[in-house]
């Protein structure tokens, strides 16, 4: 099972992806996590990546595509993977198509989690407060101005992917306004039909 989870920041892609890794024995590939690892290297690339991420912008396609390509070659992807946060632009989606073809892999489905923007903003505020009260570090990009920029990037660059995957007959949508359990159940129903 090779899956893409699409949806705006705060839609619950990470939550659903990590649940699926346990339930379906597949790997979660979060480009956000991979890029946060790059930042931790404290290299020049790390510093540049950090500045873009903190401001809520998108890291360049070339960098992200190279990271994903290398990651897909690792043995643990052979059972299947869930892409969380990738692709985020049409050119990333096109590059992914070529990558998968060259590696003799195919997508099972693309699941888009639909959530209204007002709800997203409230969820991000809640996530920041929960982190604070748990004494954990709040994500640098979970502040109102970076989050607005992430939403803008989503609207202009990522939303066109729904049409892209719909044309390929791969797109399925779930109602992300419902609770976590209900979203999980909707995703399970789709996967049970597709696999």
For the chain, state the CA radius of gyration. 16
Q: Does 86 bind ligand AMP (CB under 6 A)?
A: yes
Q: Does 32 bind ligand AMP (CB under 6 A)?
A: yes
Q: Does 53 bind ligand AMP (CB under 6 A)?
A: yes
* Cβ atoms of residues 25 and 42 within 8 Å: no
* Segment lying near ligand AMP (by CB under 6 A), choices 50-58, 160-168, 176-184, 187-195: 50-58
Q: Which of 48, 71, 139, 140 is catalytic?
A: 139
Q: Does 150 bind ligand AMP (CB under 6 A)?
A: yes
Q: Does 142 bind ligand AMP (CB under 6 A)?
A: no
Q: Is 36 a catalytic residue?
A: no
Q: Is 189 a catalytic residue?
A: no
Q: Does 85 bind ligand AMP (CB under 6 A)?
A: yes
Q: CB of 35: closest distance to ligand AMP in angstroms?
A: 5
Strands 171-175 vs 109-114: parallel, antiparallel or unpaired: parallel
Q: Does 65 bind ligand AMP (CB under 6 A)?
A: no
Q: Does 12 bind ligand AMP (CB under 6 A)?
A: no
Q: Is 139 a catalytic residue?
A: yes
HSE at residue 106, side-chain half, CA atoms within 13 A, is: 6
Tell me the site size for ligand AMP, rule CB under 6 A. Answer: 17
- Active-site amino acid positions: 13, 88, 127, 139, 150
| Residues forming the site for ligand AMP (CB under 6 A) | 9, 31-32, 35, 52-53, 56-59, 64, 85-86, 88, 92, 141, 150
């Amino acid at each position: 099972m090779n899956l893409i989870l699409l949806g705006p920041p705060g839609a619950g892609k990470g939550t659903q992806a990590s649940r699926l890794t346990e339930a379906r024995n597949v790997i979660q590939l979060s480009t956000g996590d991979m890029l946060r690892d790059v930042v931790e290297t404290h290299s020049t690339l790390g510093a540049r990546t950090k500045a873009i991420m903190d401001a809520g912008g998108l890291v360049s396609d070339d960098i992200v595509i190279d990271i994903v390509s290398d990651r897909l070659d690792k043995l643990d992807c052979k059972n299947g993977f869930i892409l969380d946060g990738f692709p985020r632009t049409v050119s990333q989606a096109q590059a992914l198509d070529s990558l998968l073809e060259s590696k003799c892999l195919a997508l099972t489905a693309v699941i888009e989690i639909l959530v209204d923007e007002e709800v997203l903003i409230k969820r991000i505020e809640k996530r920041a407060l929960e982190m604070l009260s748990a004494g954990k570090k709040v994500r640098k990009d979970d502040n109102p101005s970076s989050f607005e920029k992430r939403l803008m990037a989503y609207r202009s660059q990522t939303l066109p992917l729904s049409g892209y995957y719909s044309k390929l007959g791969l797109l399925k949508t779930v109602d992300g306004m419902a609770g976590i359990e209900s979203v999980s159940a909707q995703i399970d129903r789709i996967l049970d039909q597709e696999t």
